[in-house]
Every structure is written in C-alpha cells, then in structure tokens.
Amino acid sequence: MKKTHLLAILVIGVAIAIIMSTAGDASTYVTFDQAHEMAAAGNTNSIHVVGELKKDARGQIIGLEKSPDNLSFSFVLLDEARREQTVFYNEPMPPDFTRSEKIVVIGGYQGDHFIANKILLKCPSKYQEQKLNAGV
C-alpha cells in the first residue's frame, strides 16, 4: 500500500473521529421537563432551553429577583411548552435583559434548581421594529 493511501485513510479516520466527538459534545434544545428527566437520569450535560420571561396581564415581568449585592439574579422562564421554571444566573443582570423577547438559557438542573451558565438574549432588533422612534 502506498503512503498516500495510508495518509488518506488516516485523514478520513480523524474526520470521522471529529464528527463523532461533535455529536458527543453537541448540546440539545429541550424543554424544562425533558431537562429535569435528563438530570434525574444522571445526565449532567448542559442543555439549551428556549423560552420567554413570565409576564402578567399588563406585560409586567413577574418573578425577577436580584441578589442584594446585584451580583446575581434569578427569573422565571416559560419554556415552549409553557412550563415555568425559576432560573438562577450567577452574573449581574445583563442591561438589556428585561427588553428581550426570547431567551436561551444554557445550563442544567442541580437538584430542583435550574442553574444557567450562559444566557443568550434575542432583543427586538431595529430591523423588525416597524415603528418610528426618533425625531417624531
């Protein structure tokens, strides 16, 4: 067998290993119920949950609580199955947090608490905004 063939096989082998490891490390989008089941089954992988903040009839956000020193906060997130869950986040509240229309939390359950390691915010972008808001 020629050396080039050996190399080609090696490259393909590494490529397959890469795909396998990606599949292994990839996270998933789940609901809180699924995440809870996963955690109960001993799966400690971080998962993504997409949801929005809980609001009352007048559009006020409910359940947002900052720690006394402002360094961490917790909030109530409604996932896509409308199940609510208090999420703890160990960082100061991002300034745009309350304006966001959609929130992705990345983290997992520790006991009954959902701890977020990272939060992604989808804020209303000015492209989608169909209202003039300056100089009117």
**Residue 119 C-beta: closest distance to other proteins, Å:** 11
Nearest to 118 by CA among 69, 46, 39, 67: 46
Q: Retrieve residue 27's tokens.
A: 């996270």
Task: CB nearer to other proteins: give 82 or 122.
Answer: 122
Contact 87, 57 (CB under 8 A): no
Q: Which residue has the tokens 């992604």?
A: 120
- Could you tell me whether strands 73-79 and 65-66 are parallel, antiparallel, or unpaired per DSSP bridges? antiparallel
**Residue 54 C-beta: closest distance to other proteins, Å:** 19
**Residue 115 C-beta: closest distance to other proteins, Å:** 7
Contact 97, 121 (CB under 8 A): yes
Contact residues for other proteins, defined by CB under 8 A? 2-4, 7, 11, 14-15, 18-19, 21-22, 25-30, 45-48, 50, 67, 69-72, 74, 88, 90-93, 95-96, 99, 102, 104, 106-107, 110, 113, 115, 117-118, 120, 122-128, 130-136
**Residue 71 C-beta: closest distance to other proteins, Å:** 5
